[in-house]
Amino acid sequence: MSEPHAGDEPSRFRVNRIQSSQLQNTPSVVGTFISTSIPEDLPITINVGGSVPMANNSDGNNEGGDGYPNQHMRPRRSSLAQGLGGGRKKSVTLPKDFDYLAENDGTVYGKNFAYYTREALPHFENYKNILGGGNMSRPTLEELRSEAMYTKKTEIIPEAVSQSVKFGWIEGVLVRCLLNIWGVMLFLRLSWVVAQAGIGLAIVIICLSATVTTLTALSMSAISTNGQISGGGIYYMISRSLGPEFGGAVGAIFSFANATAVAMHTVGFAESLNDLLKTLQVKIVDNAQNDIRIVGTIALIVMQSIIIIGTEWESKAQVVLLIILLVAIADFLIGAFIGPLDDDEFTRGYVGFNATVFATNFVPNYRETEGTKHGFFTIFAIFFPAATGITAGANISGDLKNPGQAIPIGTLLAILTTTTSYIVFALLAGATTIRDATGPVFDDLNATSVIRENWEFANNCTGGVTKCVWGSHNSFQIMELMSIFGPVIYAGCFAATLSSALACLVSAPKIFQALAKDELYPGIKIFAKGFRRNNDPFFAYGAAFVIALAFILIAELNAIAPLISNFYMAAYAMVNFCTFHASLVKPLGWRPDFKYYSVYSSFVGFVLCIAIMFLMSYITALVTFGILACLFFGLVYIKPEVNWGSTAQAQNFKSAINSVQSLNTTLDHVKNYRPHILVLSGRPSNRPTLIDFSYLITKNISMLISGHIIQERQPYKVREYLQEKALTWLTKHKVKAFYNLVDDVDFEEGARCLMQASGVGKLKPNIVLMGYKSDWLSCDVEDFKAYFRVIHDALDNHLGFIIARLREGFDYSNIIEEDSEETVLSLTRTDSQSGMDSDSSRSATGIPKITYTNESFSVEPEVVVESKKSKKKMKEIGADLKGIGGTPLPKAVVNNLTQFQRKQRKGTIDIWWLYDDGGLTMLIPYIISTRSIFQGCKLRVFTIANKQNDLEVEEAGLASLLAKFRIEYSDLVVITDVMTKAKDTTREFFDGLLKEYRKNSEDIMDDEMKLDNSELKAMREKTNRHLRLRELLQDHSRQANLIVMTLPIPRKSGISAPLYMAWLECLTRDMPPFLLVRGNQSSVLTYYS
């Protein structure tokens, strides 16, 4: 780069120009502060030989060095500028982290892009922190769009290097699956399965088991490659896919099944050792179940000790056991092809390859053993645990280097290998051994030779002459008999059973530890505690040890296996259902790398698992589903505070969208009318009684929207905070409602926006409800006019309209403890993903913490830990209400705030159905009367007769109409003297309301607010009618629990706001809770079926 000379044109240094070919040289930004006060692409003009103009700061001031926001950037920028400017410093000194390209026009392009832009480049940490909740360097929208100078700490914390031992797909998945599948059934039960079911059905059993496990493995592979998975295996997959309810239930039962499988494999080892001791004529106690219990307990203690020493030792032990197992398999295969070595083996049933034997053994020969009459599915139930080892690798997913790659490859390869080996072993056992044999005659070798030649060892069993203790039906040591060297088979059997037991003894605690970490069930958190660098769950080890020991003491393999089969089947069914459900719903987050699955294969696997469960044993299946149901509904009741983005949530969204869209093509019918209410409540916590009363109408039948209007424009984070607070309040008070906020509009325009834009499709409000404006005589004229216009706006939009009035009013914002406006405006900045976490929890009682920095806003949920005593107190009505500063509220105030949550005294709901508005005046009080708190209140109906002579006709007609509507009422009163002149005292009360407006009418230029004598004269009859109604209300309804009256219609340009509000004041002042209701003149009631 040539040095500029004096007199040259000013050079321009653009800090944001960078060539893509140089991106790989950009230094990493770790633990630094990044200045972002310089707008992107701002050129810095450097006058060669003169002073160096600095970039303007955010306030537009040119203050030299102060334009740089932090000390880290000053020396770099100043040295570069001085070097290019040719001031006192004659040579160009460039920072080491910068490379520059000079153009002919003097423009220099800097390469260190991250230092000169607010934008964050795509980085793993930005997305990882969605799960972990750590620091992210991605700026918010407010920061990107703001012109204010700020200092942003973009410290990217490097991922901590785990000190725990991680396994690859061979050692972590393939070896474990092979050892688990080649378990006790291979050496002790496979020949017995062939004897019972025959070669043909034995292969069917093996293939059916392989089909179930293969379909499950495909589904499991899809789930495991759909993003990063943590420890917990199948529990983690199901819980993150279907939600905590399904995941918790299956996780609990699957960890129990793994602990029980420890007992099954250990009992298999003890049985094999017991048979070996029998041949050596050695016994511990009785060569029977007691010996099995003793050996099994000792073996369990030894295995648990190995695991406690460390999982890396357990993994090394697995490799050694696999080698022994492979040697034993080779020993069996060689022995099977060589044939029997002596007459003893021959007479014990091992006759070598024989077509007759193969044909005889090809068909089933079910027999009763230990009191159980066996059939295809009982044999399948005993054999199926042999195939359940496919989850051995997935169960330790947290200990795998790359679970998404290791689980599919290792699991599917293990299934292929073991299925092939099982089929080969079944063919060899069926083709070379007979079902029953007497064994050798030890005291006469010549007799043994004769017996072999004449096959008397088999014929005698067929005729029932001799008790047969050999043959595949009677002996579980056929594999040892067929091998070339028997002790190796025993070693292989020991290796298979102990390796499987070890794997299950590791898997069960790991799954339960993951379940305990999520704290789905109360009282299990202690089992989540990990120790040492591998996070070993010692407490969970202890629980698994106790369960395994309890089942070892049963000492009967055939009794343990069917129960395990059902538990595993239930877990496999849920894995298949997870993939099926995700493939069917197709959430955007469902993008597995593993493609060799389909929605059909998952569904077939799910149905197959359920069907086999019932075919094996419908009683055990019902017990399994009963346990799952208890665990599932327990979590439904507990409602754990977790959010894992499950497919159940995606299904809810999809179903909701489809349902709303289907409503667009559904024609409206009066029988399906539902009162969807938009209540102009502001923040729900400010007017709790108005929300409670609105919810009385909509509860369980329709939609309620709480509308909030703010006149000033609010930042996004403030609106987000208010939304969060409102939803928290509604959830806490068990009000099923939506919250809708509009800002930067006045009350009238905001109300109109809410009326027109709230809801979606046909799910939108058809009624507007707001509180009565009791300060209309003293409030600002513009506020009064806006309130009056909202009534017109609602009717203009063809909406029903309700005005509610209480003597005490609805607004408690100055009484109840709530955030002040200053508090709301002092929210702290967090990451732009807040509220979008994939793995987040939110307390229903948590109040967001509020702090302040710069000009960006957001919410930080504050975790509130409550004791059982405080939760119990919360159940008491009004116990959570506090005054300003947390002071207790007077009992009278609490009673007013909760009057629509407590049961009402016995009384009446008086309905003044003055005009036919479509029936809304009748429907609303009927709905309220069905609520539990108003159950003791009877309906009384008041109406107006046209003429005195028509009294009986009017009464009979209305009674008939109400009977057809199927609305029960206690009294029906027809008013005939509504046109009578009102009393002087009532008229004086009315005149007093309008005194001020009449006095100042000449000063008011707005026609809507101006009240003159001509209007009063024109409306004289209507005014008298409303005054007379006040008198009738005082006579008939002063003691009512609730009054509902048809709202008088304000004609457009026909009545001023003061006169209309004076009518409403006359009707409602000093009355019980009062509703003024006006339908949109469309029928909401019908008597047709």
Using DSSP, state whether 908 is helix, strand or coil.
strand
- Helical spans, DSSP H, in 433-556: 445-454, 456-463, 478-482, 486-517, 538-552
The rounded Cα 1002 to chain-centroid distance in angstroms is: 64
Higher pLDDT, 532 or 508: 508
Higher pLDDT, 867 or 432: 432
Higher pLDDT, 175 or 162: 175
Q: Give the pLDDT of residue 50.
A: 40
Residue with tokens 């407490």: 539
Q: Does the structure show a pLDDT above 60 at 536? A: yes
Specify the DSSP class assigned to residue 170. Answer: I
pLDDT classification of 470: cutoffs 50, 70, 90:
confident
Phi-psi map region of 953: left, alpha, beta (phi>0 left; psi -120 to 50 alpha): alpha
Number of CB atoms found within 10 A of residue 842's CB: 17
Specify the long-range contacts of residues 448-454, CB closer than 8 Å, at least 24 apart: 448/343, 448/344, 448/347, 449/343, 451/347, 452/343, 452/346, 452/347
Could you give the CA distance from residue 810 to residue 805 in angstroms, rounded to a whole number? 8
Residue with tokens 């197709």: 586
Q: Give the pLDDT of residue 840.
A: 35
Query: Please, what's the b/e burial string for 326-363 (b: 16 or more CB within 10 A of its CB; e: otherwise)?
Result: ebbbebbbebbeeebeebbbbbbbbbbeeeebeebbbe
Which of 31-35, 220-224, 378-382 shows the lowest mean pLDDT across its residues? Answer: 31-35
Q: Give the pLDDT of residue 843.
A: 34
Could you give the CA distance from residue 967 to residue 944 in angstroms, rounded to a whole number? 19
Could you give the CA distance from residue 543 to residue 530 in angstroms, rounded to a whole number? 14
Q: Give the pLDDT of residue 6.
A: 42
pLDDT in tens, 292-315: 899 999 999 988 888 887 666 766
Q: Give the pLDDT of residue 1069.
A: 92
Could you give the CA distance from residue 923 to residue 802 in angstroms, rounded to a whole number? 13
Longest dimension (CA), the chain: 140
Could you give the CA distance from residue 453 to residue 447 in angstroms, rounded to a whole number? 10
pLDDT in tens, 747-765: 999 999 999 999 888 889 9
pLDDT in tens, 970-982: 888 888 888 888 8
**CA nearest neighbour of 883 among 821, 813, 824, 822:** 813
Q: Give the pLDDT of residue 750.
A: 94
Length reported for the chain: 1089
Please provide residue 887's backbone torsions phi and psi, each rounded to the nearest 5 degrees: -75, 150
Which of 101-105, 740-744, 834-838, 1078-1082 shows the lowest mean pLDDT across its residues? Answer: 834-838
Could you give the CA distance from residue 709 to residue 730 in angstroms, rounded to a whole number? 18
Q: Give the pLDDT of residue 124.
A: 59
Question: Mean pLDDT throughout 215-235?
Answer: 80
Q: Does the structure show a pLDDT above 80 at 720? A: yes
Q: Give the pLDDT of residue 62.
A: 41
pLDDT in tens, 657-713: 888 888 888 888 888 899 999 999 989 988 999 999 999 999 989 999 999 999 999
Question: Mean pLDDT throughout 623-639?
Answer: 87
Strands 372-373 and 704-710: unpaired
Q: Give the pLDDT of residue 38.
A: 38
3-state secondary structure 293-319: HHHHHHHHHHHHHHHHHCHHHHHHHHH
